[in-house]
Structure 1
């Protein structure tokens, strides 16, 4: 088989790249190591920057998002038993969209299938080859048979643990990492959210976040120890802990109910440089991870897609490699700004086990300055809604 672009990974970044390429008449094949239902079962992010909303519209998959998604014009920061609203729209003229990553993936999958584009699920032992030459190819196994796809370019959209980054020679790549000494315990429940906008809470007992996926489905998180076990957290214990960390008026609006998903996620920042190796480009989590505090993970993948798609389109339609050659530099410039913002939000809102009295007072002063300075609030808002591509 031959195609122009092989995309490894059928998460939202791989699917979005594939759809944008197909809309421009650029052939592509997606290889995915697991089945379709497993991909759709992943519970991930739900806050989309305006740039990603526009990109989904450009791909032709925005109709359901606009019909069912929740546009948000602000967020609240809670500390010292009070809430302070950051007016995102008033400060930037932009909004964010609350629409679950699972729904984005579903919309992109449906669009790809309706267009008759090729996705190979349960493709085992996927391996990119010769991407440092003009003739790269990818091999995989399906039903015990080894297949080969020759191509012009390979896009590694297969996540942090995928094969794409691991295929790069160790001496050709540099990584940067920061692990945080706590995790997020998160639940999903079919209950109305505590507020119509997200609440980020800093409390002596730890961070908490009130989020949602719809007007009837809530997503809540509390900071927890990395040693905690899911089985130690009953629903009752979770709800009690969440309400303790919220201002009284917000706690009273929390509707409790049985959770249908519960997980503990460690937090880390990770960046791999560069993001391009000959004709292999890394996209999204394959190249970078951010803590979820700033709602940047999925949105960073979308900006990577924008830069790579623009470069590939220019290569095929305008016969120029300028955009492709600039991919890694453009992507990393935006990645590091988002890594900084996510790190800042994390350090400002969480309680660190090694923070002394001086450090705690600095954190409190930072929060007080942030909500009472229009310039500081505008800086947060600008980064939260998303820096321009």
Structure 2
């Protein structure tokens, strides 16, 4: 190709554990060359040389940028190449055209050329990647701890009554502590001794896993406090939910340009679901299921404790919407709010002065609750920063201001009467 240098080339890479297959095509889709490389440092350098040796790079499509292609993606980005994340070809295309590493690599290159693949890969080089790794270890520990306590309870079901009587009716925490402190004695031919011995081992494992989970949670909290301290100010957003939503976004926030693009990977983007005379929408079933679960958790918490959300649920229920439809709408609203807080953090309103003002005025929580039509316990959590409700905080502060003004008028009136008395 004598004029090859004058045209852009597009690259597709099919990634695997031990090898990567690279294919190059022209800007009008003609195959140029493909080759297989090893997944080593020298192999990555050879891939860069191979790609740059065929002309100006229009785009590099990489399969599995978060798994097998993670390290190669970093190398290509450091080399200044435009990297695009490519999904594997669908099953229909594979049945029609077959499957092999070269075919998959060429298909990846064509998807970049056609513009069907546009996703920017996650950078994986900052605090969010630390959150992802910590969450992976924490999830594994939580799963193992659940399996451990289930195994303990299963053993107790079939254990001798003498052993079961020791732990009958006990909550999990004291039962585990008591098992871990136990010192069974006997011989290996005695089923009761062996059961007690295994229970002690399982209890110690449960305690170790609990410590591991607590350490991971504390590490997550420390990273969130320094990287996104205001995200947890949103109602219903805790350490676990906030870390998951940040992992979905990634370290390079610019890969998601608006809240609609955030809703898509979170699985809450509305898509048409009309048929015949029926015109309706549903939420996308794609995206990150863990992010969708995090949004679902926020909605559940707000439906139980947030007055603004409760009012919305009552309104939509009166319109004839089902609970499932209402939760779909709430997920979309929550996704919009979360995205804005991630990209443009807004601190929660100051609440530390509310309790002080109320006590200075000699007003009880019950009196405030009667005027604002809220539960005293909810107002107490609001005063202590345990929950966030911006609209209620504004109403609360405004009402306290009115009471302070009224008290001031009474005091001035009494002073004027005293001054006029001979």
State the TM-score, normalized to the length of structure 1: 0.21
State the TM-score, normalized to the length of structure 2: 0.20
Larger radius of gyration: 2
Q: Which has the higher helix share?
A: 2
Q: Which has the higher strand share?
A: 1
Of structures 1 and 2, the one scoring higher in RCO (CA 8 A, sep 6+) is 1
